[in-house]
Chain A
Amino acid sequence: MRVRRRTFLKASAAAGALAGLGAGPALNAFADGRADRRPNRARYAPGSWVSTTCQGCTTWCPAEVFVQDGRAVKVRGNQHSKQNDGTLCPRGSLALQQLYDPDRVKVPMKRTNTAKGRGVDPKWVPISWDEALDTIADKIIALRKNKEAHKYLLMRGRYTYMRDMIYDAMTKIIGSPNNISHSAICAEAEKFGPYYTEGMWGYRDYDIANTKYAVIWGCDPLSSNRQVPAAIRRWGDLLDRGKVIAIDPQQHTTANKAHKWLPIVPGQDGALALAFAHVILKEGLWFKEFVGDFKDGKNLFAAGDKVDEESFAEVHTHGLVKWWNLAVRRCNPEWAAKVTGIPVDDIYSVARGMAEAAPNAMVWLGPGACMQVRGAYAALAIHALNGLLGCVDNVGGTLDASKIPVKKMPKVDAYKDELAKQKHKKMDQRGYLEFPSLKKGKPGGGVVTNNLADGILNEDPYDVKVAIGYMNNFAFSCGGAARWEKALAKLPFFAHITTHISETSQFADIILPAPTAMFEKWGWVKSKQNRHSFVSLLKPVVEPLWEVYGDETAVPYLIAEKLAERGFTNLLDFYKKEMKDPETGAEPKNVSEFEVYALKYYTKPLWDGSSKDLGDDIAGWDAFVERGMWNSVPYAYKKRWGKFKTKTKKFEFFSETLKKALTAHAEKHKVSVDDVLKATKYEARGDYAFVPHYEEPYVVEGTEEYPFAFLDFKSRLNREGRSANSPWYMEFKRLDPGDESWDDVLKLNPADARKLGIKAGDMVRVTSATGTFTCKAKPWEGIRPGVASKCFGQGHWAYGRVASTDFAKAEARGVNNNEIMPAEYDRLSGSTARNGGFARVKITKV
């Protein structure tokens, strides 16, 4: 027993002696003794709830902040939201610690040490906004004078749709093709599945409230994947009403609470999906109203042989028999069990279960299942199940979004001079033979974010001379992070707009302090959940403590003013002439007016009464600003049946849309489609490439014999990768299943740990083809043997006093997965590979 610090004797005098110290309450309420000690005098200090948006993840929740005497003190969901029901996940509260972070950048800064590198002190000094903006404007003008405007680069990270001002208009009018977004390190491979089956390049909405069978694949909707509070709210009832199946090598929260957890071998997701399809077809369980049936009613798939295409009459789909003949017929559960590690019985029972519930079922495709080298085909195979079972656009299934009537960016063509009109390739090499990046069917249509580093390093297609980045941290967030340190160090001039110093900022020449998205800036976002699309405003709910300007609108406007002073007025002309106040027609006279007018321009149809049939009827701009959001009418089921935006207008099991895109890419390079597939590391040849099919998981060369597949996952507390400097993040880190608070543990199955002689708490060295780091081991029963898992988010060597154990010495708390994950790609979608076991590691006790 512990010795008490004090004795009872002190008791009588204590109350009086301590009265008056600190923020003590008044005593008089209970002066007469216990009977009166009632909380009847409790008072809430004045305050008000102000609407804004949480951008802690891409759910982009409509939110509200409680403001007391000009300070943000707590958060909740927007009370009008039909998506999050007025609540937020833990990321909402965590945002408070980003707003009031002792390590925020408060003034523009200039580097005075020209040497750049990790651990090299940039010797930052504060400068005025004028000096910072003058420097940036001079650099841009110099580029234009030298006829090399295309050597300007804009790197975008977390954004709102006001991105158009800095990302789109500014880059194009200056004369550069290089507006490079972060999108391909996020989840572009996910979009590949629905696009090349049903013509939807986007994330699906999932009708959780009405589903009876949810197959959750490679993600944890209770922690991430774009509808977090909506999923959390509805999950308890779903578990009563229907069945939840989770497919993931690791037992995340959804898997833990599911009726069945299928701990799949990393990278074998496509095999399992095809085996499900095999059972569904062979047993005649497809949803006939959507797919159609054999003309004579007899299921010819049952025999397992090739089937005559003419024998089947499809309704809303295309190429079912071709798909069967080319791929599915060979993918039986017995084969799949061997490669996926999932027992045969489970494959049969889940396939039959989802078919029985169909069409009120959903196959929820997450990044774990497809952000893999060759993951495009896993995405196709998994999403194809939604077609097979008629879940697409159906009750309890996977949905598109209701229409959101906002304005598009005005055309910039008239503001582009001859220099700006010149055509140049983009620095991320999209569209190169080995990077088809087939966004929306267009070769080179999508970004290859992570390859920008190689573009810069190899000066291919050319060298970058002036770069601006905002709310991005590619030196931390991209696989093969060490490449980024070299690439950023090579940039002759780089300005970073950020709330916090970050790994990327440490390579900048100028840093501009940014407002926090949720609390201090104007913007707007759109998305959908729970059958309702929405638009949510971001606004300055509190006065920033320092002079900061919005990264997406204010900063480009201020730069435009500086460019105009130097004789290049096109950008300012665009901003002033195109972003007039839609109510008065007045041009913005200053940066504050510009920010508001631009927002009014984009959102006008939501509040001018012109589109009340599509959703909330909001009476005017002021009402919209106060309310902070707009909800659409519910999405109409079966809306796209018969008119999918594919080449055939059908749900394509044989993707004519993909065939067209791949053929176009091949023709552009004067090679065959097979040559493209070879150059992009896929195994498929011939028609096989146009159907969802099995590709063997790719493993980085030279590491095939490493014993563990490395599994990277996202924390439910990650506000993107930006909450690691928050004590609350560290304190509750153990809410990520298997993780530890104030630590960053590598989880591995206890049986594996025993073989290696590793006990809980031992430090281990983890080595991949790309790098090595040392962290604490955590044997945990919730992970498949042969898999080593660690959460993404820590390992910041330059982020702040909590995230970094020693900022001055560039020493990180925890380790960054991107230092051991090589830069690899799913090249058809342009995505950075993060999953699928391509990064193998060996683990040794230290």
Chain B
Amino acid sequence: MRYGMVIDLQRCVGCGACALACKAENNTRERANGQSFNWADFLIWTEGSYPKAKTHVMPVLCNHCTKAPCVENCPTTPTALYKTPEGLTMHNAELCIGCQNCQEACPYSVQSMKDEPRQYSVLSYNEEDKSAHPRWIDGKTLIEACTTSGAEISRRTEQVPPDRTRFKHPDYGSTRRPGIVEKCTFCAHRIANGMEPACVEACPSEARIFGDQDDPNSNVSKRKQKHKTLRLKEKEGTEPNVYYVRNYAGTR
């Protein structure tokens, strides 16, 4: 068993349904302090000149690398970041000390997107001693006694965030506490229950295929066989388990 994902860029239309489904599923917060908190995000660039220009969109997420630098550089004992036998790169929220070494080691992350402008970072860091969901503790109202506030909605729904999807997993909660990093889990809590990752299920174009790379009959294996594959920053030697096939704007 070796989990992996194939993203078919011809099928992908760059709509963002995956990234929003991820935010809804994993209850990730809004961007702040150089951290995106987007476990699913995008790499977008335009190349060429009018009228031959093409815009490329690549959905990005944690690559669940076979040789994961985040794990190798995690200083805790046991390490907060670790590889499961099925190939997931997992993060144990309890063990994490928020040192951000993983962000520095990961070729797909930065410690601060503010200091080092990037389009994405698969690892994000929750600042220490600050609410991980400030939007929902904010009592500010636009019009006193007439419009509501984040704090009031979370009080009335008894959840932070109010649309929090509740689930349990031994390694992580459905929200994060201050002072730790966070990243894509391949929705381990879902796959353990026979479901696909939220981004896969939500994709309206069926561009994302998830499954067992060791099973030659899995859709992931078949698609890897059928097409030339590409992985991000292959030269880094991390052996990502997220593969891209075909072209986003390849028909002209």
Please list the residues of chain A having a beta carbon within 8 angstroms of any beta carbon in chain B. Answer: 1-2, 4-8, 10-12, 14-15, 18-19, 21-27, 29-30, 33-34, 37-45, 47, 66, 68-77, 84-85, 87-90, 92-94, 96-97, 99-100, 102-107, 109, 124-126, 222-223, 228-229, 232-233, 235-236, 239-240, 244, 251, 253, 256-261, 263, 501, 511, 545-546, 716-717, 727-728, 731-732, 734-735, 737-738, 742, 749-751, 780-785, 800-801, 807-808
CB distance from A796 to the nearest CB of B (A): 12
5 smallest CB-CB distances across A and B, nearest first, come from A22-B177, A29-B170, A236-B11, A93-B20, A781-B53
The chain A residue with its CB closest to the CB of B110 is A2
B1-28 CB mask vs A (1 if < 8 Å, else 0) is 0000000101101111101110111000
The chain A residue with its CB closest to the CB of B169 is A42
9 A-B pairs in the complex with CB atoms less than 8 angstroms apart: A4-B104, A12-B76, A25-B168, A39-B170, A44-B193, A105-B147, A232-B205, A716-B16, A735-B44
* In the bound complex, CA of A66 to CA of B190 (Å): 14
Q: B177 touching A100 by the CB < 8 A rule?
A: no
CB distance from B56 to the nearest CB of A (A): 9
Contact partner of B170 (CB less than 8 A), chosen from A11, A42, A263, A731, is A42
Q: A727 touching B30 by the CB < 8 A rule?
A: yes
Contact partner of A25 (CB less than 8 A), chosen from B152, B170, B204, B249, is B170
B218 interface residue (CB < 8 Å to A): no
Residues on B with C-beta less than 8 A from A124 are: 143, 146
Q: A4 touching B251 by the CB < 8 A rule?
A: no
Q: B15 touching A37 by the CB < 8 A rule?
A: no
Q: A104 touching B147 by the CB < 8 A rule?
A: yes
Q: A100 touching B204 by the CB < 8 A rule?
A: no
Known: A26-B170, A734-B44, A780-B46. A236 touches B207 (CB 8 A): yes
CB distance from B92 to the nearest CB of A (A): 7
The chain B residue with its CB closest to the CB of A799 is B142
Q: B99 touching A75 by the CB < 8 A rule?
A: no
B34-51 CB mask vs A (1 if < 8 Å, else 0) is 001010001010101111
CB distance from A38 to the nearest CB of B (A): 7
Contact partner of A260 (CB less than 8 A), chosen from B179, B192, B252, is B252
* In the bound complex, CA of A66 to CA of B88 (Å): 26
CB distance from B162 to the nearest CB of A (A): 4
B108 interface residue (CB < 8 Å to A): no
Cβ < 8 Å to A, chain B residues 157-195: 157-159, 161-180, 188-193
Q: B99 touching A256 by the CB < 8 A rule?
A: no
* Segment of B77-85, B209-217, B236-244 engaged in the interface with chain A: B77-85
Residues on B with C-beta less than 8 A from A732 are: 16, 19-20, 42
Q: A4 touching B101 by the CB < 8 A rule?
A: yes
The chain B residue with its CB closest to the CB of A85 is B204
Q: A781 touching B46 by the CB < 8 A rule?
A: yes
B33 interface residue (CB < 8 Å to A): no
Contact partner of A233 (CB less than 8 A), chosen from B30, B57, B173, B205, is B205
Contact partner of B146 (CB less than 8 A), chosen from A24, A72, A109, is A109
B235 interface residue (CB < 8 Å to A): no
Residues on A with C-beta less than 8 A from B50 are: 263, 749-751, 781-785
Residues on A with C-beta less than 8 A from B70 are: none
* In the bound complex, CA of A89 to CA of B98 (Å): 35
* In the bound complex, CA of A223 to CA of B13 (Å): 9
Residues on A with C-beta less than 8 A from B191 are: 39
Q: A100 touching B162 by the CB < 8 A rule?
A: yes
Contact partner of A92 (CB less than 8 A), chosen from B17, B30, B193, is B17
* In the bound complex, CA of A220 to CA of B194 (Å): 36
The chain B residue with its CB closest to the CB of A17 is B97
B60 interface residue (CB < 8 Å to A): no
Q: B135 touching A727 by the CB < 8 A rule?
A: yes
* In the bound complex, CA of A94 to CA of B202 (Å): 13
CB distance from A731 to the nearest CB of B (A): 6
Known: A42-B189, A103-B142, A259-B251. A93 touches B17 (CB 8 A): yes
Q: B146 touching A40 by the CB < 8 A rule?
A: no
* In the bound complex, CA of A800 to CA of B82 (Å): 42
Contact partner of B15 (CB less than 8 A), chosen from A10, A30, A89, is A89
Q: How many A-B residue pairs have CB under 8 A?
A: 333
Q: A34 touching B82 by the CB < 8 A rule?
A: yes
Residues on B with C-beta less than 8 A from A233 are: 204-206
Q: B15 touching A735 by the CB < 8 A rule?
A: yes
Q: B11 touching A125 by the CB < 8 A rule?
A: no
Contact partner of B99 (CB less than 8 A), chosen from A1, A11, A23, A253, is A11
Q: A39 touching B202 by the CB < 8 A rule?
A: no
The chain A residue with its CB closest to the CB of B19 is A732
CB distance from B228 to the nearest CB of A (A): 16
* In the bound complex, CA of A349 to CA of B214 (Å): 47
CB distance from B111 to the nearest CB of A (A): 5
Known: A6-B98, A27-B94, A37-B92. A74 touches B143 (CB 8 A): no
Residues on A with C-beta less than 8 A from B76 are: 11-12, 14-15
Known: A236-B10, A256-B55, A256-B249. A545 touches B156 (CB 8 A): yes
The chain A residue with its CB closest to the CB of B179 is A18
Residues on A with C-beta less than 8 A from B153 are: 100, 102, 545
Contact partner of A102 (CB less than 8 A), chosen from B88, B148, B175, is B148
Q: B204 touching A104 by the CB < 8 A rule?
A: no
* In the bound complex, CA of A124 to CA of B142 (Å): 11
Contact partner of B192 (CB less than 8 A), chosen from A33, A40, A257, A785, is A40
The chain A residue with its CB closest to the CB of B156 is A545
B221 interface residue (CB < 8 Å to A): no
* In the bound complex, CA of A263 to CA of B252 (Å): 14
Q: B167 touching A42 by the CB < 8 A rule?
A: yes
CB distance from A568 to the nearest CB of B (A): 30
The chain B residue with its CB closest to the CB of A27 is B94
Contact partner of B169 (CB less than 8 A), chosen from A10, A25, A235, A731, is A25
CB distance from B44 to the nearest CB of A (A): 6
* In the bound complex, CA of A106 to CA of B143 (Å): 10
B90 interface residue (CB < 8 Å to A): yes
Q: B177 touching A23 by the CB < 8 A rule?
A: yes
Query: A37, A72, A85, A92: which has the most chain B beta carbons within 10 Å?
Result: A37
Q: B173 touching A25 by the CB < 8 A rule?
A: yes
Q: B14 touching A34 by the CB < 8 A rule?
A: no
The chain A residue with its CB closest to the CB of B164 is A73
Residues on A with C-beta less than 8 A from B112 are: 2
* In the bound complex, CA of A26 to CA of B84 (Å): 18
* In the bound complex, CA of A87 to CA of B206 (Å): 10
Q: A39 touching B169 by the CB < 8 A rule?
A: yes
Q: B204 touching A84 by the CB < 8 A rule?
A: yes
Query: B14, B17, B80: which has the most chain A beta carbons within 10 Å?
Result: B17
B140 interface residue (CB < 8 Å to A): yes
Q: B98 touching A23 by the CB < 8 A rule?
A: no
Q: A89 touching B204 by the CB < 8 A rule?
A: yes
Q: B168 touching A68 by the CB < 8 A rule?
A: no
